[in-house]
Structure 1
Amino acid sequence: METSSAPNDQAGLVTYDLRGAVAWIGLNRPGKRNAISDALLDAIGAAFRRAQAEARAVVLHGHGPCFSAGLDLGEHRARSAEEVFHHSRGWHATFAAIRRGRVPVIAALHGATVGGGLELAAACHLRVADESTFFALPEGQRGIYVGGGASVHVARLLGASRMADMMLTGRVLDAGAAERAGLVNYLVPPGEAPARAGALAEKVAGMAPLTVLGVLHALPRIQDMSEEDGLFVESLVAALAQTGPEAAARLADFMEKRGTKVAGPGN
């Protein structure tokens, strides 16, 4: 295991542990509830650039009492409309590098996952939440609007109506409600999110690269296509993945009874 701060992160705002093929990236402003400052956003970007180069999966987690309480309002200052626009686009670019990168990212959530913290969690491919996790979009109550991609990515996970409810009324979702709404993939007892996320990441890291490419890059795009276009792209990705050497080896293992059969849940 290799442990360090992310490159160019002198303040240690992000921790980085490489455990075999899995990179563990930790938000490390516990005294500020991992509020996302401009410096932390830069450190997140640097850590993910490193992970994309040397890992097969990532676990993203938060040190301290919560995953992230959102935008660091201590840095809030009067900005022109143009400055706000470009600040928001900077968040979009960092989170896009997570969503559109080479490796699957699993968020391990606990405590407050609020505002920009929820937007960061939504940029990940899977989310594991323990029962202490809660979700909110308080921007509406503060007279501002989301700027880290929630209008697209949180709304796609929850549905626009649920997101509107959270912004207009200040509704807070507990972990159970978030799982039922589709925001959370796995719900676990308190303190167990990192272990479950790590186990999932180890499993994901063993996936065939061409299959991962299809899931990370084709599947999200297919959702925006017409039915016929989506089915066409599915066939192209199937042809690419199933004619690769790794697929041939894995299918041979299965046919010769060396592969693992699908078992029921909990087995």
Structure 2
Amino acid sequence: MMPTVSVTRYVAPLREGGSLPGIVEADDLGTYVCKFRGAGQGLRVLVAETIASGLATRLGLQTPRLVALELADALARYEADEEIQDLLRASLGLNLGVDFLPGSFGFDGTTSLPEGVAGTVFWLDAFIANVDRSWRNPNLLLWHGDLWVIDHGASLYFHHGWSGGVGDPARFAALRWNADDHVLLEAAKADDLEAIDRRARATLSRAAFEEILADVPDAWLEPVPGADSPDAVRAAYVAFLDARLQATAWWEAVSR
């Protein structure tokens, strides 16, 4: 399971989108971007972030280290902004911390990338059905000369339909992904996408998915009909990811 540290100071909000993440300091002396459990998008966004980070790492992509951030009630009492105070109070317990990359800057398309990097990001986004890597919001950072992938909460959105039950993994396996506005579309097409697909499928497996889901804290795995324990919810995610990995139509549709 990912390491757990305690938040010692709320530093500043990142007023991007509706979830209002914030920069915090923790008792391990680290600085993190905190994704709050009490934000409007809910706990499943934290799960998606953790899964996507685990996949990216296994595919050889750079992505910030994750921790679970324990947030106590005392922190909210010293926050003057009422909106942030309400968010902190709604987020007591475990939140997601994304290692802060000081001095990083957003990818603007002008930086050349090493061979295979754009294509691998493209494959990852197609696999997790990420709808948020466009020119409007690339969710890519450049840090120390490397490309870093961030912010994957808008992926794996099948789980937002689990209120009535887990559903059928085959539906996600067959789901087509629209790449029309992907920020790396042209750069990815210049890579050997067939080779990238072969390498990704050889790297990932059901066992890899089980390892990734083991990193997700129990507190983020809300029970749903048909999966009433954290381990059962983990197994459901593994089944959906494995079904996607065994399918090919979703990739063939965007790699031609």
TM-score, normalized by length of structure 1?
0.26
**Which of structures 1 and 2 has the bigger CA Rg?**
1
In terms of fraction of residues, the more helix-rich structure is 1
TM-score, normalized by length of structure 2?
0.27
Higher relative contact order (CA 8 A, sep 6+): 2
